[in-house]
Structure 1
Amino acid sequence: MAQGAKIELFVKASVDAESVGNCPFCQRLFMILLLKGAKFTLTTVDMRRAPDLLKNVAPGSQPPFLVYNGELKTDTNKIEEFLEEVLAPPEYPKLSCRNKVSNNAGEDIFRNFSAYIKNRNPGLHSVMERKFLSSLVKLNMFLETPHPQELDLDPNQSVSSRKYLDSDALTLADCNLLPKLHIVKVVSKALRDFEIPAELTALTRYLDNAYKQEDFRYTCPRDPEILSAYHAVAKFK
């Protein structure tokens, strides 16, 4: 059934109204479909000129949304669950994590980044930056810690060598976190002159490995598109 299904993914359009816009939730679903190897059509929705499309296809909704065999689905988390269920082995790879803790890794980074980048009070800058940095350190520690299956292979392993959050393969957890980390990396450097410290070797390795994956790299919005969404809110008073 899934192999012959008609799958349509609608994502936010960029300023040029054609390429993929800045939306980590859109990129998350885009990555999942690519990693699944599913056949689907991608439509970029220009929110400034799309009232008819939204009214006809997904009234009251904003991208991302999915149409599967004519059935509209609008909740990102539920779409992810649905795709993992219907695009299942043996025809499609399983993307769910073996270790449940992987699903929550880095969950506080984007929240602390947003507070840091949107802070308008210079007096609070250092405090916000330290809190943001601490969330990056926490993720680095998670990436350094071996998972149980790694210890099964090597009980003496003290530092993990896995490429991604859960294993050496990208999972749903990575599809959720990596689009946010990409925004963090681009915006922090350009607007706050903050770079992820090289001392966070596990996090640096994680990102390096991710950028080598076409399914991630191809779905990333262009840097100017990301920065245009943050320039106004990143200015100090």
Structure 2
Amino acid sequence: MADAVEQNGHAENGDVPEIELIIRASTIDGRRKGACLFCQEYFMELYLLAELKTISLKVTTVDMQKPPPDFRTNFEATPPPILIDRGMAILENEKIERHIMKSVPGGHNLFVQDKEVATLIENLYTKFKMYVRKFESPDTKESQQPLLSHLERINDFLGKRATRFLTGDTMSCFDCELMPRLQHIRIGAKAFRKFEIPTTFTHLWNYMANMYELEAFIQSCPADQDIISHIKNQLGLKTTARIELETPVYTTAIPVLAES
């Protein structure tokens, strides 16, 4: 169907269902993974289930600037993510999430109930976008404070819980939602505002370090340049950087942390 196909064949038992996830391709080269947050979130969830061998996962990238004829025939102008489970296509984000939770084998284990965590990570990306939209104006402590304060709350929460992930020592849907957004903030805020997550947020950085060790994140993570391109296109920003000509870079190194 698409220009590029990635196969994750963890499941060898013919009895397990094959799930196909169609995700947006890079807006730079039209082939590698793009930086759609929902695409990465569902990719991570399904990858975790494939590692447990409850499903076999196939991930397909589609260049929405030049969608192939069979994609247009089947889905018209519907943008990814699109989940296909045993011939049935699920097209809307909320329906995809509900389907993973209720119909994909093992999916219910990812969807834990935790109102405190749900409230904690809500609106983080909105604050990031509000901050970056002003990238041509002077960067002041006042302009970065809403984002900085929210990151600090997450850092303090992680310190209080003292668990590897948000809800415990195993991953949940909340981690698959938060970490792609943290990566966008790490890459995008630096590119557009020269903002970096403070090294004093040691609990947050340790959390990110744990996520960087997971194949579910590594395999689903877009290149830095694709994150920058996605944010630029989404928010209508203009930059002079020639990221289209750069070799793809994937930033996963952890800075030297300040004393906590």
User: Normalised by the shorter chain, which TM-score bucket?
Assistant: 0.7 to 0.9
> 1:87: which partner in 2?
104
> 1:71: which partner in 2?
88
Deviation at 1:93, TM superposition (A): 7.4
User: Which of 222, 232, 237 is the matching residue for 1:233?
Assistant: 237
> 2:8: which partner in 1?
none
Aligned 8 A contact 1:97 1:103 in 2:
no
Aligned partner letter, 1:9: L
For the pair 1:19 / 2:13, whether they are aligned, the reply is: no
Deviation at 1:3, TM superposition (A): 4.4
User: Could you list the per-position Cα deviations for residues 103-126 of structure 1 after superposition, in whole angstroms to 9, with x for gaps in the alignment?
Assistant: 333222110110111115525754
User: Could you list the per-position Cα deviations for residues 154-193 of structure 1 after superposition, in whole angstroms to 9, with x for gaps in the alignment?
Assistant: xxxxxx3201111111111111111111111011123322
Aligned partner letter, 1:162: T
Aligned 8 A contact 1:139 1:203 in 2:
yes
Unaligned runs of 5+ in 2: 1-13, 240-260
> 1:139: which partner in 2?
154
| % identical equivalent positions | 30
Following superposition of structure 1 onto structure 2, how do residues 120-135 of structure 1 map, counting pairs within 5 Å? 120=135, 122-123=137-138, 125-135=140-150
CA distance in 2, matches of 1:138, 1:226: 24
Aligned partner letter, 1:61: T
Q: What is the TM-score when the length of structure 2 is the normalising length?
A: 0.76
Q: Secondary structure at the match of 1:72?
A: strand
Aligned 8 A contact 2:22 2:61 in 1:
yes
How many residue pairs align between the two structures? Answer: 219
CA distance in 2, matches of 1:228, 1:212: 25
User: Which of 9, 19, 27 is the matching residue for 1:7?
Assistant: 19
Aligned 8 A contact 1:103 1:173 in 2:
yes
> 2:43: which partner in 1?
30
For the pair 1:55 / 2:61, whether they are aligned, the reply is: no
Aligned 8 A contact 2:184 2:227 in 1:
yes
